[in-house]
Structure 1
Amino acid sequence: MSQWDKKRETMYHYDVTAHIYDMRYAEEQKAKFLAAFKNIKMEKLGLVLDVGCGTGLLFEHVAYKAETVVGVDVSKQTLLKAREPSKRFLNTHLVLADADNLPFAENIFNHVFAFTLLQNMPEPAATLKEIKRIAKTNAFIMVSGLKNIFSQESFEKILQDVGLRITALESEGLKCSVAICKKLLN
Structure 2
Amino acid sequence: MSETFNWHKEAERQWDSRSDMWGEKSRTMWEEGSRKSIVPFVKKYMPAGTIADLGCGDGYGSYLLSKEGYDVTGVDLSKDMVNKANQRVNDHSQLRFVQGDLADLPFEDEQFDGGMAVNSLEWTEVPAAGLEEMKRVLKPGGRLCIGLLGPTAMPRVNSYRRLYGEEVICNTMMPWELQQLAVENGWEVIDGEGVYKRGVEPHLIADLDEDLKQALTFMWLFILEKK
**Given the two structures, how large is their TM-score scaled by the length of structure 2?**
0.73
Q: Give yes or no for the alignment of 1:69 onto 2:92.
A: no
Written as runs of structure 1 = structure 2, the 5 A alignment for 1:14-163 is: 14-30=15-31, 31-32=34-35, 34-35=37-38, 37-38=40-41, 40-41=43-44, 44-66=47-69, 68-148=71-151, 149-163=172-186
The 8 Å contact of residues 50 and 72 in structure 2, kept in 1 or not, is answered as yes
Q: Is the deviation greater in 84-93 or in 102-111?
A: 84-93
- Give the ranges of 4+ consecutive aligned residues of structure 1 lying more than 6 Å apart after TM superposition: none
Instruction: Name the residue aligned to 2:7.
Output: 6
**Which of 169, 192, 216 matches 1:169?**
192
Give unmatched runs, 5+ long, in structure 1.
none
Opposite residue 182 of structure 1, the aligned amino acid is: E
**Residues 1:178 and 1:27: Cα distance change in structure 2 (over 3 Å):** farther
Q: CA RMSD in A?
A: 2.3
SS at match of 2:108: coil
SS at 1:86's partner residue?
A: coil
TM-score, normalised to structure 1, is 0.87
Shift of 1:43: 7.8
Give CA-to-partner distance per residue, 1:69-111, whole Å, 9 cap, x none.
Answer: 1111110000111012222412211111111111222112011
Give ranges in structure 2 of 5+ residues lacking alignment.
Answer: 152-171, 197-216
Which protein is bigger by CA-based radius of gyration?
2
Task: State whether residues 45 and 111 of structure 1, in contact with CA within 8 Å, keep that contact through their aligned partners in structure 2.
Answer: no
